[in-house]
Amino acid sequence: MAYPQRMDDPAEPLPRRWSAATSRPDMWVDPGDDPRESNVEMVDERSTLLEFLRGYRVTLELKCQGLDAEQLARRSVPPSTMSLLGMLRHMARVEHHWFRRVMAGEGVPRLFSEGGVRDADWDGARPDPDLVEQAWALWRAEVAFAEQFVSETDDLGTPGQLDDGEPIPLRVVLVHMIEEYARHCGHADLLRERIDGRVGQ
């Protein structure tokens, strides 16, 4: 299952067919052009989990497209520090934790954990084009790692190891990732609508 082709420059909008609907300009794309729709048949556990996760990853990517650094870093409502840029950084951190640290067992520090500052992924999301470029690069690298790891792991019961040493099977990690994206894509709907009126789809 191929991940949708992305532009080389993360600051550039997605291909034109992703950029606007003709039937309703406040929505993303016309139904026939929706990149979340694919020809993948969800006939078993693996294909179902991976297709739902792919769709939510693409949804987050869509919600961030066409915005400049200031818009991406724009906070929701006080006292929340939530922004689309913070969300992108947060999801890079989540992908990194569950697939590199827990499933692959890499002994690497968590992303955005310098100095033990809690919520640095959210709080450090500033309107800086370099930070935006870094966030896209990190997120895409972690998604690519996760996709490769899953494609090379035949058994969804393959265990990873939590910080406390408890085992956790890959299938549970995949369900958790779907849950994580679903929650934050709901937040992204509201954040994007507040920025330019684009609504959920």
User: Each residue of 129-159: pLDDT tens digit?
Assistant: 999 999 999 999 999 999 999 999 999 999 9
pLDDT at residue 6 in the model: 38
Task: Round the CA-based radius of gyration of the chain to a whole number and report it.
Answer: 17
Return the structure tokens found at 46.
Answer: 């693996």
Rounded to whole angstroms, the Cα distance separating 188 from 200 reads 9
Domain ranges of the chain: 68-201
Q: Which CATH architecture has domain 68-201?
A: Up-down Bundle (1.20)
Please write the tens of the pLDDT for every residue from 35-67: 667 777 767 999 999 999 999 999 999 899 889
Hunting for tokens 């003709």 — which residue is that?
22
The chain-wide mean pLDDT, for the chain, equals: 86
